[in-house]
């Protein structure tokens, strides 16, 4: 069965960087884009960007353009999301999700989420 | 960016009730509209894609409709496990955007 398993919770100080991983299983890793979505506590969902695991190509939301980097390692079916220069308002759950474009365009499987807490 | 406006932002209902949540896009998005359910502490779960197609495994009491700019999610005969927050999301163009959510609470 399709699964996306994310790395564990992180606590970081302002100005630091964080890496969140998302390991895929149960399907051909390079066939589906992976999207990253974040959710601040008690807030809604915000798209951060996507990565094409086949080519490594990326697209980032304008808001995150200068401080997010998404990469992948096809040997272990894992994508990574690096966020730099963290601020307190980056405290949020970060989700990876698989994009499916069969008969539409939707996020059909999600990771369990990774809580990143930014605090001095 | 396409703005997605959901209403209501919250509602209270009882088990067995029928409820409708609406989502309006700031421009036409054809049928590129998806609905997700999120329970506290959990990741969102896809319910409906392409405005009206039920994701595999989702009960038939969930129904989506609409096209263009106006969409609805209808839950008939609410079950205890349906009390959650619901989000619409457009995938017509980038950036994908979500509504602010509708919190469905038990009356």
Choose from B3, B42, B91, B95 for mutation: most chain A CBs within 10 A: B95
Q: What is the pLDDT along chain B (107 residues), one digit of tens a residue?
A: 999 999 999 999 999 999 999 999 999 999 999 999 999 999 999 999 999 999 999 999 999 999 999 999 999 999 999 999 999 999 999 999 999 999 999 88
pLDDT of residue B73: 98
Cα B74 from Cα B72, distance rounded (Å)? 6
pLDDT of residue A83: 98
Cα-Cα-Cα-Cα torsion B5, B6, B10, B15, nearest 10 degrees, comes to: 180
pLDDT of residue B61: 97
What's the CA angle centered on B44, arms A46 and A53, to 5 degrees?
Answer: 70
SS (H, E, C) chain A: CCEEEECCCEEECCCCCEEEEEEEECCCHHHCCEEEEEECCCCCCEEEEEECCCCCCEEECHHHCCCEEEEEECCCCEEEEEECCCCHHHCEEEEEEEEECCCCCEEEEECCCEEEEECC
Residues of B in contact with A62 (CB under 8 A): 95
Inter-residue contact A107 to B46 (CB < 8 Å): yes
Q: Do B34 and A103 touch (CB under 8 A)?
A: no
**Ranges of chain A whose pLDDT falls below 50:** none
Summarised one tens digit per residue, pLDDT across range A58-75 is 999 999 999 999 999 999
Choose from A35, A36, A38, A45 for mutation: most chain B CBs within 10 A: A45
């Amino acid at each position: 069965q399709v699964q996306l398993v994310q790395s564990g919770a992180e606590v970081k100080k302002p100005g630091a960087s964080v890496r969140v991983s998302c390991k895929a299983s149960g399907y051909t890793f390079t066939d589906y884009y992976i999207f990253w979505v974040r959710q601040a506590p008690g807030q809604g969902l915000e798209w951060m960007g996507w990565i094409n695991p086949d080519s490594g190509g990326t697209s980032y939301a304008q808001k995150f353009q200068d401080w997010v980097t998404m990469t992948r390692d096809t040997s272990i079916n894992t994508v990574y999301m690096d966020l730099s220069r963290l601020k307190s308002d980056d405290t949020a759950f970060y989700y990876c999700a698989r994009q499916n474009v069969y008969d539409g365009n939707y996020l059909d499987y999600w990771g369990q989420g990774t809580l990143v807490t930014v605090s001095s | 960016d396409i703005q997605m406006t959901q209403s209501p932002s919250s509602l209270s209902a009882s088990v067995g009730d029928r409820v409708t949540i609406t989502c309006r896009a700031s421009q036409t998005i054809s049928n590129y509209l998806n609905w997700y359910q999120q329970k506290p502490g959990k990741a969102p779960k896809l319910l409906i894609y392409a405005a009206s197609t039920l994701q595999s495994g989702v009960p038939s009491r969930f129904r989506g409709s609409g096209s263009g700019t106006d969409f609805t999610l209808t839950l008939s005969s609410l079950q205890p496990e349906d009390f959650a927050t619901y989000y619409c999301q457009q995938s017509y163009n980038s950036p994908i955007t979500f509504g602010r959510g509708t919190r469905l609470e038990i009356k």
